[in-house]
Structure 1
Amino acid sequence: MNPLVLLTIGATLLACLLVVFGVHAYAAGRAQRAALVERLSASGEPPPTGRTRRFRAVDRRLRGTAFGRWVEVKLATTGLDLTPGEFLVYVLASVAAVWLLSAAFLAPFFGPVAGLIGLWAANAFLNWQRARRTERFINQLPELARILANATQAGLALRTAIGMAAEELEAPAGEELSRVADRLAVGHSIEEALGEIAERLPSRELVVLVSTLVLSARAGGAIVGSLRNLTVTLEQRKETRREIRTQLSQVTVTAYLVPAIGLASLLLVNAMMPGALDRMTGAFIGQTAVLVSLGFFALGFILIRRLSKIDV
């Protein structure tokens, strides 16, 4: 028989065999997924379907740029369930809305100014969300140290103790420790896995905890006693931070009232004398005066925030 015919028949049989194996694997995967969904539905937990992502084309193109990667890293530290494409579209839509509203209610000159302030506000929102998540994580550190100490005293390995803490603690500590447990499961070292948490949620308390765990994993030692002493220290620092935040609450409100007073004064002037802002911003000297006044309001806000910021 012709060798070419034999080769064709062999390739056809091999392709048919691969198709059979592929169909079998697909059917087995479908059956496993159906069983998993049925088991989760019986236990009352939501099935792993996930949220439908919007603006996929924008997200795909944005992730290929340096700006998109920066936004992705920024969103990862905030814990927001948003993709870079969704965040960009929402920010641009909000900036356009603020631009149009400012131009309609104040004057056309305030449209671009409001747009720039909107872009700054988007970045400030991410920073605030990150600081808020970091603060929540710091408040969970005493409980985390206590769980690790109890698990280590019971004879469990540090990797097992971290997985146990990830299951018992709520977000954000539970989510971050789940990432650490996943990385440890695929072969990452404890220093690398815990170091990523310190980079995403920077704080002195977390750095001390990570250093204690890394040193104990490297050189051994009385990790239980160290974690129990660290638990007491973290509790004391937690109370100190709460007292300082309470005492500085009035100063914080004052910092936000400064720009609010400036915006309210503009609205008041435009309400008392309709068209005054149009006439004022129609000349170069009026535009300069508005920009200088906005700069002073922003400087007052920054200075008050700096003066009221106390690192513990």
Structure 2
Amino acid sequence: MLLSPVNLAVFSAALSVALVVYLVAAPKPVRVPIERRRPGLVPEPSALEKGAAAATALIERALRRRGTPPGASMIELAGLKMRRQDFIFLVGVGAVVGAALGLLLGSIRLAVVFAGIAPALARVWLGMRISRRQKQFAEQLDDSLALMASNLRAGHSLAQALASVASESESPTSEEFTRVVNETRVGRPLVESLMDTSARMESEDFAWAAQAIGINQEVGGNLAEILDQVANTIRQRNEIRRLVATLSAEGRLSAIILMALPFVVTGFLMLTNPGYLAPFTEGIIGPALIVLGIIMLIIGGIWLAKTVTIKF
């Protein structure tokens, strides 16, 4: 029968699926922003926006009283287009959420631990972004110097060659060279700005290029040829660096697995058999063994890191 309960159920399910697909895939109505419909009207910020603005303003005043904190340079090195007070506010929100989660689980200790996870993860994340950005700058350096040499050969000045690299290179090279160009335009010495960039990006190769430019400004010579030689040397060093990274990949992977193994096993035991780890939280011997294990893990991590890190 067409009106049997099975047919009605199938028809209802198909209709529901079709309705959901339509709601998801249907084009949204075009809405003109209120500032275009009523140009003289300034939209009223929500309560959440007002609270966030007040919190960031309070953080900014506190930072001004303390001076420039070390975290400000880390945010800049990481290439984040964000004010330092906004970043600190987001980290604080994460810490509050972690503390609330710990309290919901019924433990003040967990609340303290979860609250401290957000700043630690933020610091680690910034460090990873800084390392990746510095690595990209080092890999792009030989092409950047070759582009500068080509511009100098074409008859451009050194300032024009730097501006060409700033406009045609990829990030983060374009951002760093743009900063150099802007600093020189306001009167800062070029070599000083270049050396500051090499220190900021922790690039010994770029320091060579900056020294070569400084020597050329003092004694003269063919700067394009010098930059070509420096670029060739940096290119060969990058090839050796990639070869070393390839040969040490197995050791680095082994180090990561060995460092993560204790935490993975502990988490698995906490999920499958929590009572097995109960003696570690009772008495004095358990916490002492945990502290001893953490110390040995730190020593082993440093040992493994020194083993797979090769400097040349």
Amino acid of the residue matched to residue 202 of structure 2? P
**Partner Cα distance (1:65, 1:246) in 2:** 48
Alignment of 1:35-46 (within 5 A): none
Alignment size in residue pairs? 261
Give the corresponding residue for 1:147: 147
Give the corresponding residue for 2:123: 123
Q: How far apart are 1:95 and its partner, in Å? A: 4.6
> Could you tell which deviates more after superposition, 64-73 or 186-195?
64-73
**Partner Cα distance (1:175, 1:248) in 2:** 31
Tell whether the 8 Å contact from 1:166 to 1:177 is kept in structure 2 after alignment: yes
Q: Could you give the per-residue CA deviations for residues 182-214 of structure 1, whole angstroms, max 9, x where no partner exists?
A: 111111111222122112101211111111112
Q: How far apart are 1:177 and its partner, in Å? A: 0.5
TM-score (norm 1): 0.73
**Partner Cα distance (2:242, 2:147) in 1:** 23
Give the corresponding residue for 2:60: 60
Tell whether the 8 Å contact from 1:59 to 1:84 is kept in structure 2 after alignment: no
Give the corresponding residue for 2:216: 216
Q: Could you give the per-residue CA deviations for residues 49-97 of structure 1, whole angstroms, max 9, x where no partner exists?
A: xxx9895324413432558521111111111223222322333444555
Amino acid of the residue matched to residue 138 of structure 1? A
> Could you tell which deviates more after superposition, 265-274 or 64-73?
64-73
Give the corresponding residue for 1:310: 310
Give the corresponding residue for 1:206: 206
Give the corresponding residue for 2:192: 192
Give the corresponding residue for 1:246: 246
Tell whether the 8 Å contact from 1:209 to 1:230 is kept in structure 2 after alignment: yes
Q: How far apart are 1:145 and its partner, in Å? A: 0.8
Amino acid of the residue matched to residue 266 of structure 2? L
Distance 1:204 1:150, change over 3 A: same
Alignment of 1:80-91 (within 5 A): 80-91=80-91
Amino acid of the residue matched to residue 253 of structure 1? L
Q: How far apart are 1:126 and its partner, in Å? A: 2.2
Give the corresponding residue for 1:44: none
> Could you tell which deviates more after superposition, 202-211 or 292-301?
292-301
> Could you tell which deviates more after superposition, 226-235 or 94-103?
94-103
**Partner Cα distance (1:80, 1:257) in 2:** 31
Distance 1:98 1:68, change over 3 A: farther
Amino acid of the residue matched to residue 130 of structure 1? I
Give the corresponding residue for 1:172: 172
Query: Structure 1 regions of 5+ residues with no counterpart?
Result: 1-51
Distance 1:62 1:135, change over 3 A: farther
Distance 1:242 1:262, change over 3 A: same
Q: How far apart are 1:268 and its partner, in Å? A: 2.2
> Could you tell which deviates more after superposition, 170-179 or 218-227?
218-227
Q: Which has the higher contact order (CA 8 A, sep 6+)?
A: 1
Q: Secondary structure at the match of 1:310?
A: coil
Q: How far apart are 1:175 and its partner, in Å? A: 0.5
**Partner Cα distance (2:269, 2:72) in 1:** 42
Tell whether the 8 Å contact from 1:270 to 1:277 is kept in structure 2 after alignment: yes
Give the corresponding residue for 1:266: 266
Amino acid of the residue matched to residue 184 of structure 1? T
Tell whether the 8 Å contact from 1:153 to 1:224 is kept in structure 2 after alignment: yes
TM-score (norm 2): 0.73
Q: Could you give the per-residue CA deviations for residues 219-263 of structure 1, whole angstroms, max 9, x where no partner exists?
A: 221211111111211111111111111122222222222332111
Q: How far apart are 1:121 and its partner, in Å? A: 4.2
Q: Secondary structure at the match of 1:133?
A: helix
Tell whether the 8 Å contact from 2:101 to 2:114 is kept in structure 1 after alignment: no
> Could you tell which deviates more after superposition, 245-254 or 66-75?
66-75
Q: How far apart are 1:146 and its partner, in Å? A: 0.8
**Partner Cα distance (1:67, 1:258) in 2:** 42
